[in-house]
Chains A and B, each alone.
Chain A
Amino acid sequence: MTMPVLELRDVSRTHGHDDALVRALDHVSLAVAAGEFVAVMGPSGSGKSTLLNLAGGLDAPSSGDVVVEGNRLGGLTRSSLAQLRRRSIGYVFQNLNLIPSLTAAENVMLPRELDGVPIRRARREALAALAEVSMADLADRFPDDMSGGQQQRVAIARAVVGDRRLILADEPTGALDSNTGEGVLRLLRTRCDSGAAAVLVTHDARHAGWADRVVFLRDGATIDETPPLDVPEALLAGGRTP
Chain B
Amino acid sequence: MNAPALRAALRIARRDAWRAKGRSLLVVALIGLPVFVLAGADIAYRTWQVGPAEKIERAIGAADIEVQWFGGAVVQDPKGWLGNGGIGWQGASGPRPTTAQMLAQLPAGSRAIERRTNENGTQIRTQAGLKRAKFVGMDYADPIARGLVHQVSGRAPANEHEVALTAALSASLGRHTGDQIHLVGPDRDVTVVGVVTDASHRNAQTVFALAQLVAPAGPLSPADSSGWLVDSPGPFTWQQVLHLNSVGFGAVSRTVYLHPPPKSQVPRSFGGSSPSSTAVLASGGLIAGMALLEVVLLAGPAFAVSARRQRRDLALIATVGGRPADLRNVVLANGVVLGLTAGVLSVVGGLIAASIGIPTLGRLVDAVPGQFDVRPLEMLGLAMVSLLTALAAAAFPARGAARTDVIAALAGRAGVMGTRKRVPVLGSIVAAAGALLAIGGATASSGTVPILTGIVILEVGLIICTPALLGLAARLGRHLPLAARIALRDAGRNRSSAAPAVAAVMAAVIGAVAIVIGVASSSAQQRSNYRPVLQNHDGYLTLDGTQSKRAPDIAAALRTAMPSAQVLVLRAPNQDCSANDPTCTTSQVGFELSGEAARRAFQQGRYQGGMAPQTVFDDGAAVAALFGTPVPSAVAALRAGKAVVLDSTAIHDGTVTVTATTVAATAADSGPQPSHPHTITIPAVVVGQGFAMTQLILPSSMAPRLGVTLQPAGVLVHSSRAPTDREMQVADGALNRIDDTLSLYVESGYHNANSWLLLALIAAAAVIAIAAAVIATALANLDSRTAMVTLAAVGAGPHTMRLLSMARAGVIAGIGTAIGVVAGFVPPAAWVQATRRIAGPPIPDEQTLGAQVTLVVPWLPIAAALVGIPVAAALVAGLFTRSRLPADRAAE
Contact = CB atoms under 8 A, between A and B. Distances in A.
B836 interface: no
Contacts of A115: 2, 4-5, 321
Interface in B271-323: 312-313, 316-323
A99 B313 contact: yes
A116 B2 contact: yes
B323 A78 contact: yes
B320 A85 contact: yes
B321 A86 contact: yes
Contacts of B312: 96
A101 B19 contact: yes
A111 B312 CA distance: 16
Contacts of A59: 407
A138 to B, nearest CB: 17
Contacts of B260: none
A114 B326 contact: yes
B837 interface: no
Given A82-B322, A101-B12, A119-B7, A114 B317 contact: yes
A113 interface: yes
B5 A79 contact: no
Contacts of B16: 101
Nearest to B410: A93
Contacts, number: 82
A58 B319 contact: yes
A110 B320 CA distance: 8
B11 interface: yes
B318 A58 contact: yes
A102 B12 contact: yes
A58 to B, nearest CB: 5
Nearest to B313: A99
B4 A82 contact: no
A93 B411 CA distance: 10
Contacts of A102: 11-12, 15
A203 B317 CA distance: 26
A37 interface: no
Contacts of A91: 319-320
Given A59-B407, A82-B322, A114-B322, A99 B7 contact: no
A50 to B, nearest CB: 9
A122 interface: yes
Nearest to B19: A101
A175 interface: no
Interface string A56-87: 10110000000000000000001100111111
Contacts of B11: 102, 106
Given A85-B321, A119-B7, A58 B2 contact: no
Contacts of B3: 116
Interface residues of A, number: 36
B128 interface: no
Contact of A85 (B7, B319, B324): B319
Given A53-B407, A99-B12, A101-B15, A79 B323 contact: yes
A84 B16 CA distance: 28
A118 interface: yes
A99 B321 contact: no
A117 interface: yes
A158 B317 CA distance: 12
A180 interface: no
A117 B321 CA distance: 13
Interface string A208-228: 000000000000000000000
B324 A78 contact: yes
A50 B121 CA distance: 96
A97 B323 contact: no
Interface in A27-51: 49
Given A53-B407, A58-B407, A101-B12, A111 B321 contact: yes
A1 B317 CA distance: 34
B394 to A, nearest CB: 17
A47 B2 CA distance: 37
A82 B323 contact: yes
A83 B313 CA distance: 18
Contacts of B703: none
Contacts of B410: 93
A62 B12 CA distance: 35
B320 A114 contact: yes
B8 interface: yes
Contacts of B324: 78
B4 A122 contact: yes
Interface string B1-44: 01111011001100110010000000000000000000000000
Nearest to B14: A101
B16 to A, nearest CB: 5
A114 B316 contact: no
A120 B319 CA distance: 23
A165 B237 CA distance: 85
Contacts of A158: 320
Contacts of A90: 320
Contacts of A99: 12, 313, 316-317
A74 to B, nearest CB: 17
Contact of A113 (B4, B19, B406): B4
B317 A56 contact: no
Contacts of A116: 2-5
B322 A58 contact: no
Nearest to B8: A113
A84 B19 contact: no
B307 to A, nearest CB: 14
Nearest to B320: A111
B318 A118 contact: no
A55 to B, nearest CB: 12
A83 B316 contact: no
Contacts of B5: 113-116
Residue from B320, B407, B410, B411 with most neighbouring chain A CB atoms (10 Å)? B320
A49 B410 CA distance: 11
Given A101-B19, A113-B8, 19 more contacts: A49-B411, A58-B318, A59-B407, A79-B323, A85-B321, A86-B320, A87-B321, A91-B320, A99-B317, A106-B8, A110-B317, A114-B5, A114-B321, A114-B326, A115-B4, A116-B4, A117-B4, A118-B4, A158-B320
21 contacts: A49-B411, A58-B319, A58-B407, A82-B322, A85-B318, A85-B320, A85-B321, A86-B321, A90-B320, A93-B410, A99-B316, A101-B16, A102-B15, A112-B4, A114-B5, A114-B320, A115-B2, A115-B321, A118-B4, A119-B7, A158-B320
Interface of A: 49, 53, 56, 58-59, 78-79, 82-87, 90-91, 93, 96-102, 106, 110-119, 122, 158
Smallest CB-CB A-B distances: 5 pairs: A86-B321, A101-B15, A85-B321, A116-B2, A113-B4
